[in-house]
Structure 1
Amino acid sequence: MTTGPHHPGDTPQAAAEDLPREGEDLGALLTRELDTVGRTQKDLAAAAGITYSTLNHWIKGTRGTSRVDPEDFRRLAKALRNWGSQIRAGDVFRAAGRQVPGPSSAEREQRLLSIYRALPVGSQRALIQHAELLARSG
């Protein structure tokens, strides 16, 4: 949904109700979006390929999201978009207090894998530890 007239070169603006609310946590964001699209937590869990229990814990804030696979957040956003929501994966990451991962490419992934495979075991372990630290610090 957009508001206001559009002129060449203008960036379409989302309606105020479509924008993530400042400081909104993951539970509030997902609850609002589920209400907007008329679906349940069970619907979302099934569509995103996660358990209802896990999703319910995230929404209630009784389980942290610092170690959640980024693909889970992407699947949540995709499921909601499939039902008509305007949510983006970045909105879900921000609401969860996580940095939005950069885009990936098969070429970069293959290059990293080639480098990894060329390293001795000790260096492979060190690379994994370093990558994990980078992922946590964002």
Structure 2
Amino acid sequence: MINVTNDGWFGETTGPYQHFHQARVRAVEEGAPLVRAANNGISGVVDPFGRVLVSLASMSVARSTAPCRKPCRYPYARFGDWLLAAILALFAVLAAGLRKKAVNQSLEVNLSRKRSVIDALRPCTYEVQSLCLWNCWLYE
């Protein structure tokens, strides 16, 4: 990665140092070496692990060389937002499967409750019917 910047508007504050450290974080995040050139800020070379190989002071004129290693590509650097989309799709499928299972279990519980209520009422129905028949036979 190459980062060309103008940190001149910061002056002699902590701004150029913060920008340099943020650039180091980007190098680690992408797993790529970083060459940073600043007209009034901190210039330098950072390896893919965030180690500063060369650093040139702010407000100085200098030239330097440094070896750059091959980038080690992290999953996000390789796949980008597709990796996040795949993970979200996987969770959506799992959630839909769990919801379907819960709905099926709920239906089975409701069905078994209805059966138990019907089974509990059946003997009473038979007894009431038999009593009615008995009473009707007595009064005829």
- Bigger CA radius of gyration: 2
Name the TM-score, length of structure 2 as normaliser.
0.25
Of structures 1 and 2, the one with the larger relative CO (CA 8 A, separation 6+) is 1
Say which structure is richer in strand. Answer: 2
